[in-house]
Structures are given as structure tokens and as C-alpha cells.
Amino acid sequence: MTFTLGVVIFALGILVSVCLHEAGHLLTAKTFGMKATQYFAGFGPTLWSFRRGETEYGVKAIPAGGFVKIVGMTPLEEVSPEDSRRAFWRFPLWQRTVVLVAGSATHFLLAAVIFYFSAITTGLLNPAAATFDTMSAPPVIGEVSACVVPGYDLNADKSNFRACRPGDPVGPARAAGLRAGDRVVSVNGKPITTYAEFVATVRSSPPGPVRIAYLRDGQRRTTTANLVATRRPPVGKPDGPLQTVSAIGVSVKSPPVVLHYSAAAAAPAAVWYVGQTVEQTFSAIKSFPSKIPKLFDAIGGQQRDPQTPISVVGASRIGGEAVQIGAPIAFLALLGGLNVFIGVFNLFPLLPLDGGHVAIIWFERARSWLAARRGKPDPGRVDYNKLLPVTYAVMLLFGGLTLLTLTADIVNPIRIG
């Protein structure tokens, strides 16, 4: 598929998920007997519509989401006497809460479906692999090299060392009988607790024999490995000056990048993955303020930090690149993750988000309960007019952040490569 087609498919996926968000509100409202008069995809002038029962369904000109109109959602709208009985505010608190959170619940359900499909087809990207810190990991051997490349010779994409060639020294770890899964305990009697300590100890040891103590299947063993000299840059500085160090020819055991599941195991895995994505979403939102200066830097021409927030345009672009390079797992992970983000973000207790409306109706209930306890009259519904300045401020803030991320995604987009 082409990049453009991938962008279009991803953008349509986002649009459909937002429309289904509103469908969640509509279906739950109708289930409880509330009156819903409109359900539209898009905003602006109406392009096409039809009426079924008391609800008008249709499509509007601006494909930027959708909306559903439920009678009596806020005190700002007038409700006719004949509709008063079925107005939103007339229904029990739990039913109103369900209707308000149904949109976010729809996003979580969509994400679970997307992750399930990914789990049984392409697999799921392992969150643990993305946050894995090699140097602080336990000194458990992952791979044992057949040789040690004498110089700092990398393969074409610079992702790893070149393949072994005749004349390259045999890997000391392999010659010493070490295997994947062995946990190093000590080197020449020096205790080893992290992979960083193992690397530092091996590098600083002179070439030649060293005594390695390790655990295999819970049993302590020892062996002798003959370290060989090679040329490497400093740890953590791949572009630093090369220096002569000793090498043993192993890598650390790291989590798999992709997790694969059967059809039966994929269901709980998808739910677990939604939970993991929710956790990551909160972490991303928490760190968002620190990313704003980096967005301005990116707009100014500096290298774009891949951890900075993206707009719908940026997400669609990355989705298009995933399709173009044949990486459906990245496409599905991004689409599912975006649904989780929208679901979580929409529950924040701020107007005009659904979470803001939930906070208000629960505040009204708490205030009424306290008034009854004190023998005072029910204060009634919250005056939304007093909340309008705060609502406009929140909308202005969200609009500014959207414009900022949109500009960065146009001027200096994040790329998969």
C-alpha cells in the first residue's frame, strides 16, 4: 500500500472511533429512555440526514468527529414541557453516569478489539521491551556470540555487529560453555549484580583467562573464559572514541519485542494490553508539560524528539508510514493506543469533556445530600453559566496545544525510521 492510502485508512479509523464514541452515548441514553433528538457524524452544515423515530441521523460537512444531542443534558438548554419527563437530568444518577462514560468505554472496547486482532495476527508490541534498561538489568545472558568482531565493524543499518568472518576470535563465552539464560554471579571473585557491572568488569580485565561463576537452573557453576581484546567506543556513547577493551561475546537477556498469542489467550492479553496502555497514557500526560518546549524546538528546526506529543495529523502520518513499510503491528498498536488515550483523556473532570459532566452531576448529588442532612432546601442543579469562563479557558488551552502539535507535525513530523 502507498503512504497516502495508509494515512487515509488511519484517519478514517480515528473518525469512525470518534463516531462510535457518540454512538455509545446514544445507545445507552435510548436504552434508559432518555430522549435523543440528533446523532451526526461531523460538524457544520448538514450534507445528508434522515429521521427515524424521534432522532435525526446524518452527516455534516466537517469530518472532525461527531455529536449526539440528548435533551436536558445541561441547564443551558430549554426543555419543552412534553420532553421534561424524559430529559437527561430526570434520570437516576447511575444511569446518567453510564451515559456519560459510555463514550470512553466505547474507546476502551475498540482498543481491546484492535489489540485482540493484532495479538492473533501480527502480535503485540511488548511494553516491557520499550522501557527495558539494558545496563540496570540482571546479568542474565541473552545471546552467546560465535565470535568477537575485532574492530567496531557494524552491519549496513548500524544496528549490530557484522557477521563473523574466518579469522575472527572465537567467542570466549561460547568456548567456555556459557548459554543463554545463565545468570552471572561473579567474575574473578568480584560479585556481579547488574549487566552494567558485568560489562565494566569484563572491559577493564586484561585479555586472557577469567573465572566466571554463574547460575544455571538454580545450580551454581564455574567456568573459565579467555577474554579477547577488541576496539569499542565507551558504553552509552556509540560515537565516542574507540578504545581497546576486553570482550567475552554475550548480550543481555531482554524482553521480546513482539508477543504472540493463540485465539484463546489473545482475549485476556488484549485486556491486559489495554491496562498497560492506560498506564502509559497517564505517564505521558504527566510528562506532557516538560515536552512543550521540545515542540517549540522542533518547530524551530531542531531534531524532533520522538517522545513529544502528536496531533491526529501526526498519528495519521505515522500510520501511513507503517502501512508503507509493511509494519501492520505498528499501525494497529498506534490505532489502539490512540483510542485508549482518547478514552482516558475524555474522562478528565474538566468541561467540556464527559468527565467534567460526570464530576458536576456527582457534585450535585453530594451537595443535595449535605443540604438534606442539614435540613436545608435542595440547592438544585449547578449553574453552568458560572462555569462558562472556565470551560472557555479549557477549550482555549486545548485548542492552543492542538495547534502547537499540529504545527510541529507539519513542519517537523515524527517518522518511524
22 part of the active site: yes
Residue 402 lies in a domain: yes
Q: Which of 120-134, 178-192, 200-214, 364-378 shows the lowest per-residue confidence on average (mean pLDDT)?
A: 120-134
Is pLDDT at 132 greater than 90 in this prediction? no
In a domain, 198, yes or no: yes
**In a shared domain, residues 197 and 171:** yes
Task: Report the chain's mean pLDDT, rounded to a whole number.
Answer: 89
In this structure, the answer to whether residues 277 and 405 fall within a common structural domain is: yes
- Residue that wins the pLDDT comparison between 160 and 172: 172
Whether residue 295 is found in the same domain as residue 176? no
34 domain residue, yes or no: no
230 and 267 housed in the same domain: no
The enclosing domain of 149 has a CATH number of: 2.30.42.10
Question: Does 41 map to a domain?
Answer: no
Per-position b or e across 263-279, b if 16+ CB within 10 A of its CB = eeebbebbeebbebbbe
Q: Are residues 150 and 215 in the same domain?
A: yes
Q: Which of 22, 77, 82, 321 is catalytic?
A: 22
Q: Please indicate, yes or no, whether residues 328 and 299 belong to a single structural domain of this protein.
A: yes
162 with 267, same domain?
no
- Please count the residues of the chain: 417
The answer to the question of residue 3 being in a domain is no
pLDDT tens string 218-244: 999 999 999 999 988 888 888 889 899
Domain total of the chain: 2
**Residues 296 and 343 both lie in one domain:** yes
Domain presence at residue 87:
no
Q: How confident is the model at residue 127 (pLDDT cuts 50, 70, 90)?
A: confident
User: At which of 252, 273, 302 does a domain end?
Assistant: 252
**β pairing state of 243-247 and 219-232:** antiparallel
Higher-confidence residue of 208 and 11: namely 208
Using the 3D structure, point to which of 196, 224, 252 is the last residue of a domain. 252
Q: Cα(72)–Cα(86) distance, rounded to whole angstroms?
A: 8
pLDDT confidence of residue 1:
53
Q: Is residue 237 part of a domain?
A: yes
| pLDDT tens string 260-281 | 999 999 999 999 999 999 998 9
- Its domain, for residue 350, covers 92-126+263-411
Looking at the fold, whether 248 and 288 belong to one and the same domain comes out as: no
Give the residue, 417 or 50, on which the prediction is more confident.
50
Does the structure show a pLDDT above 70 at 208? yes
Instruction: Flag whether pLDDT at 77 surpasses 90.
Output: no
Domain final position from 252, 286, 316: 252
Same domain, 310 and 402: yes
- Say if 196 falls within a structural domain: yes
Give yes or no: residues 170 and 247 share one domain. yes
pLDDT tens figures, 312-352: 888 888 888 888 888 888 889 889 999 999 999 999 999 88
Residues 215, 97 share a domain: no
